[in-house]
């Protein structure tokens, strides 16, 4: 059932007279607060009464003060906090019918028949049992004389919706669970720290990360850090792995590596299902190789800290969708969980997903490991295959005689180096010669190329900026010299990793093909820019890091005002004309407004916003935050907005300006960008190799069709290569961005969460995704380009 865009104003009516409650259960996960906030505010927005249930199911069973009516302000300033402010507890009582009877009584007394549960698969299963027993529980309450028959009849049905909060990312059906990305942030911070200390000593680190049944965190951190060895429960090592691992470590020492990292998931096992412990691995390395080896067990650190931007935006999106799902639920619709598919919220049949998740465990118990990896989903399998591909140098069978040149173009963006690394390594493994070009198209014109080896890119994934050097120069004025370089180095393919200039540059090269045969070679653009404005893709490398950097900046700015002063901050973000950065940062920090170029505003909007903020400040809110994209308006400059707010706020609040500037290019890349860069590098090289073989005739490569000069993009869930020339029609060259941008549908959410009167005409509710179909797709693997971001 595909739902079309609908006017949510209508939903607003259906929310009136309803009561809904939200609770968090099981292990806490970063991002749960953002979910609670979104459910609460969306609930209030649609006119429903929203209750917060404290201490998870225990609070539901105990009732009393644990179930509190929420106001708009109840969830102010919680989005940046880790854990869950409404508490979570393990609850024995709720597993008994008696406990659930008490819970039903507490809910029905308050007229609550809509429940949103944020927790792991156990918690969600509990919710489903509660739902199916609901009417019999009410009958029992009537029998015992605790509630009236009328009351029971009025509340005959309980609607349940689940949000999956789990740092392990172990729930089938959704691309990401709430908290997993933040956990990866914590792990990568620790790995980065270890890498710096280890430079001074030769050391081996055995790093144990969480995941008793699911190796996702271990796998992605290994991929993002280029770890030497990885042990996960889904894919136990072959017999004799101890020898392999030791020779791998020795090999990397010989080639000059001073640090070895072994990542092990808590639940790692061998082929017989016997646990492999971190101490066992450490002793092995010490005894066999005599290396100085340390074990680091990360433990609860992974649940700590502030939620990542990804988790905050994800939770807000899912929380809002949960409310709509509750409003639309009927006694016949099965309980659903809200999940993420590509960049959209989708509704999943809760119990089918739980069943699927259990199948993975069964497969592992029965030692059908290949199946376990497959059942985890296409993205897990893809990560696993790429890890294996890049982890260690393989002997090259034979040279291919093809040379690939890799360059960075535009402003530096986090993740560029990860993409260079994986592209170079895979190309080398395929027998190509790989040249790194310094300083973009300028360097290509000047012949600043050097040959790369497997080890030239060691440790590149974790480095920010561009190690190759990058420039904004476009090829147009240097075409002759570029062609000379291509001839001189006999280059048969170009990989351009960069932003809008990268796209525009390759388009120029493509258009010059009619003049120069030498340009008839495969060319690929990997989009990499903090602005996320490259046509042909939903996401660019570096955008996630930038949003995180801007978000951390705003968190600190907001915190600086904690105390007595009432203050509004006007914060200017980068992004050129593209409002992605401002919009996502706005959602992640709970901004009061985010002005962007694409969403035109006039003096009336400014007036409404100022008055709205002034009203808020008169009450108990102490801080306001308004984001402004650098090019959002020619005349309503940052200074103008600052002065406007200052004047209007006189006597109520003061106003300060912050220009975030280059900190948005971010230091170390986020785990998402490391992982995404690594995958895109691999996909690009695979594609280039295919085009090379396809277009090799009479001793040379002649690739002259449009589909040999492409942007490698991620569109929803599918990796696609779109010809640069086709993208011309959908590109606004003046403002350097795609004409249509998917994230625009995040704008109504931003406004709703900031409590503006907004029309939801543009909001498209989540589709209903069928898990079984998803699984079948994964099983068949009909398209190698079917992938996901995670």
**Which one, 193 or 396, has the nearer CB to ligand NAG?**
396
Q: How far is C-alpha 232 from the chain's CA centre? A: 22
Distance of CA 135 to the CA centre of its chain: 40
- Measure Cα distances from 44 to 21, 172, 272 in Å: 11, 31, 53
Kind and range of the H or E element at 142?
Answer: helix 121-143
Q: How far is the CB of 582 from ligand NAG (least distance, A)?
A: 17
Does 716 carry a binding-site annotation?
no
Residue closer to ligand NAG (CB basis): 513 or 616: 513
> Which CB atom, from 486 or from 554, has the smaller least distance to ligand NAG?
486
Residues within the interface to ligand NAG (CB under 6 A): 398-402, 490, 492, 633-635, 699-701
Q: What angle do CA 426, 720, 784 make, to 5 degrees?
A: 60
> 634 or 729: whose CB is closer to ligand NAG?
634
Q: How far is the CB of 446 from ligand NAG (least distance, A)?
A: 21
212 marked as binding residue: yes
| Shortest spacing between CB 699 and ligand NAG, in angstroms | 5
CB nearer ligand NAG, residue 522 or residue 590: 522
Phi, psi dihedrals of residue 444, rounded to the nearest 5°: -65, -40
* 18 assigned binding-site residue: no
Which residue in this structure is represented by tokens 């295959």?
385
Query: C-beta of 664: minimal distance to ligand NAG in Å?
Result: 24
Nearer to ligand NAG, 92 or 488 (CB): 488
691 known ligand binder: no
Q: Is 538 a catalytic residue?
A: no
| Residue 369 burial by Cβ neighbours in a 10 Å radius (0-12, 13-18, 19+) | middle
Query: Is position 576 annotated in a ligand binding site?
Result: yes
CA pseudo-torsion sign 727, 728, 730, 733:
positive
Tell me which of 168, 538, 544, 592 is the catalytic residue: 168
Q: Kindly state the tokens that stand for 135.
A: 């009417």
Torsion sign (Cα): 391, 393, 395, 397: positive
Radius of gyration of the chain (CA): 27
Q: Is 256 annotated as a binding-site member?
A: no
Q: Where are the alpha helices (DSSP H) in 366-491?
A: 369-375, 378-391, 416-429, 440-446, 479-488
Locate 267 and state its tokens: 């639940």
For residue 120, say whether it is annotated as part of any ligand binding site: yes
Is 154 labelled a binding residue? Answer: no
* Minimum CB distance to ligand NAG, residue 682 (Å): 22
Give me the sign of the Cα torsion angle 364, 366, 367, 372. Answer: negative
- As a whole number of angstroms, the distance between CA 785 and CA 783 comes to 5
Which residue has tokens 């790194």?
436
Q: At 633, phi and psi to the nearest 5? A: -155, 135
Distances (CA, A) of 57 to 23, 61, 90: 7, 6, 8
Q: Smallest distance from the beta carbon of 631 to ligand NAG, in angstroms?
A: 11
For 688, the enclosing helix (H) or strand (E) is: helix 671-694
- Cα 177 from Cα 169, distance rounded (Å): 5
DSSP string, 310-322: HHHHHHHHHHHHH
252 is in an annotated binding site: no
Smallest distance, ligand NAG to C-beta of residue 688, A: 12
Q: List the beta bridge partners of residue 380.
A: none
Q: Which residues are annotated as a binding site for ATP?
A: 27, 90-91, 120-123
Q: Which residues are annotated as a binding site?
A: 27, 90-91, 120-123, 166-168, 203, 210-212, 266, 294, 300-303, 472, 529-533, 567, 574-576, 630, 656, 662-665, 736
Q: Which residues are annotated as a binding site for beta-D-fructose 2,6-bisphosphate?
A: 472, 529-533, 567, 574-576, 630, 656, 662-665, 736
Enumerate the active-site residues.
Answer: 168
Q: Which residues are annotated as a binding site for Mg(2+)?
A: 121
């Amino acid at each position: 059932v595909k739902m079309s865009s609908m006017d949510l104003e209508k939903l607003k009516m259906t929310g009136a007279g309803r009561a809904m409650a939200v609770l968090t259960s099981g292990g806490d996960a970063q991002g749960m607060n953002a979910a609670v906030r979104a459910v609460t505010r969306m609930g209030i927005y649609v006119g429903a009464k929203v209750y917060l249930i404290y201490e998870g199911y225990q609070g539901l069973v105990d009732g009393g003060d644990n179930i509190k009516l929420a106001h708009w302000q109840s969830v102010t300033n919680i989005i940046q906090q880790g854990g869950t402010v409404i508490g979570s507890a393990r609850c024995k009582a709720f597993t008994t019918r008696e406990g659930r009877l008490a819970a039903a009584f507490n809910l029905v007394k308050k007229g609550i028949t809509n429940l949103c549960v944020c927790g792991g698969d156990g918690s969600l299963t509990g919710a489903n049992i509660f739902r199916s027993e609901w009417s019999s529980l009410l009958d029992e309450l009537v029998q015992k004389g605790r509630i009236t028959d009328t009351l029971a009849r009025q509340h005959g049905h309980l609607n349940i919706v689940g949000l999956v909060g789990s740092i392990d990312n172990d729930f089938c059906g959704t691309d990401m669970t709430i908290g997993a990305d933040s956990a990866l942030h914590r792990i990568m911070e620790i790995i980065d720290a270890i890498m710096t200390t280890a430079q001074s000593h030769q050391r081996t680190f055995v790093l144990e990360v969480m995941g008793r049944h699911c190796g996702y965190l271990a796998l992605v951190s290994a991929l993002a850090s280029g770890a030497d060895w990885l042990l996960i429960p889904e894919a136990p090592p072959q017999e004799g792995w101890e020898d392999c691992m030791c020779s791998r470590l020795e090999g990397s020492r010989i080639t000059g590596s001073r640090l070895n990292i072994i990542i092990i998931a808590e639940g790692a096992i061998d082929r017989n299902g016997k646990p492999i412990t971190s101490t066992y691995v450490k002793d092995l390395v010490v005894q066999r190789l005599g290396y100085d080896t340390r074990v680091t067990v990360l433990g609860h650190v992974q649940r700590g800290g502030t939620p990542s931007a990804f988790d905050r935006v994800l939770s807000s999106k899912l929380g809002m969708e949960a409310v709509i799902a509750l409003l639309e639920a009927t006694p016949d619709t099965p309980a659903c969980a809200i999940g993420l598919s590509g960049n959209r919220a989708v509704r999943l049949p809760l119990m089918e997903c739980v069943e699927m998740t259990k199948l993975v465990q069964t497969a592992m118990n029965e030692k059908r490991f290949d199946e376990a990896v497959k059942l985890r989903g296409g993205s897990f399998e893809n990560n696993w295959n790429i890890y294996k591909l890049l982890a260690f140098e393989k002997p090259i069978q034979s040279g291919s005689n093809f040379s690939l040149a890799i360059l960075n173009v535009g402003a530096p963006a986090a993740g560029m180096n990860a993409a260079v690394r994986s592209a170079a390594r895979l190309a080398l493994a395929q027998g190509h010669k790989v040249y790194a070009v310094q300083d973009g198209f300028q360097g290509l014109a000047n012949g600043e190329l050097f040959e790369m080896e497997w080890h030239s890119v060691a440790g590149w994934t974790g480095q920010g900026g561009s190690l190759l050097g990058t420039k904004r120069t476009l090829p147009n004025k240097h075409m002759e010299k570029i062609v000379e370089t291509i001839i001189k180095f006999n280059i048969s393919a170009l990989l351009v990793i960069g932003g809008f200039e990268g796209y525009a540059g390759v388009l120029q090269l493509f258009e010059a093909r009619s003049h120069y045969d030498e340009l008839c070679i495969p060319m690929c653009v990997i989009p990499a820019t903090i602005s996320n404005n490259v046509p042909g893709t939903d996401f660019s490398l570096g955008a996630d890091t930038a949003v995180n950097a801007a978000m951390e900046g705003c968190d600190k700015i907001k915190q600086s005002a904690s105390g007595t002063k009432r203050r509004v901050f006007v914060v200017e973000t980068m992004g050129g004309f593209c409002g992605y950065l401002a919009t996502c940062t706005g959602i992640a920090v709970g901004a009061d407004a985010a002005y962007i170029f694409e969403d035109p505003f006039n003096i009336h909007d400014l007036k409404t916003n100022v008055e709205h903020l002034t009203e808020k400040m008169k009450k108990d809110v102490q801080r306001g935050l308004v984001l402004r994209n650098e090019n959002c308006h020619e005349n309503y400059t940052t200074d103008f907005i600052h002065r406007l707010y200052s004047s209007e706020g006189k006597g109520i609040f003061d106003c300060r300006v912050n220009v975030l500037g280059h900190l948005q290019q971010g230091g170390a890349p986020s785990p998402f960008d490391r992982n995404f860069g690594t995958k895109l590098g691999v996909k690009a090289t695979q594609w280039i190799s295919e085009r090379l073989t396809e277009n090799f005739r009479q001793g040379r490569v002649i690739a002259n069709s449009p589909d040999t000069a492409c942007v490698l993009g991620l569109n929803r869930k599918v990796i696609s290569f779109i010809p640069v020339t086709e993208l011309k029609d959908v590109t606004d060259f003046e403002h350097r961005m795609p004409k249509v941008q998917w994230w625009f549908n995040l704008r109504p959410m931003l406004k709703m969460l900031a409590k503006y009167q907004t029309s939801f005409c543009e909001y498209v509710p989540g589709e209903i995704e069928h898990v079984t179909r998803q699984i079948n797709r994964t099983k068949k693997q009909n398209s190698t380009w079917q992938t996901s971001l995670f």
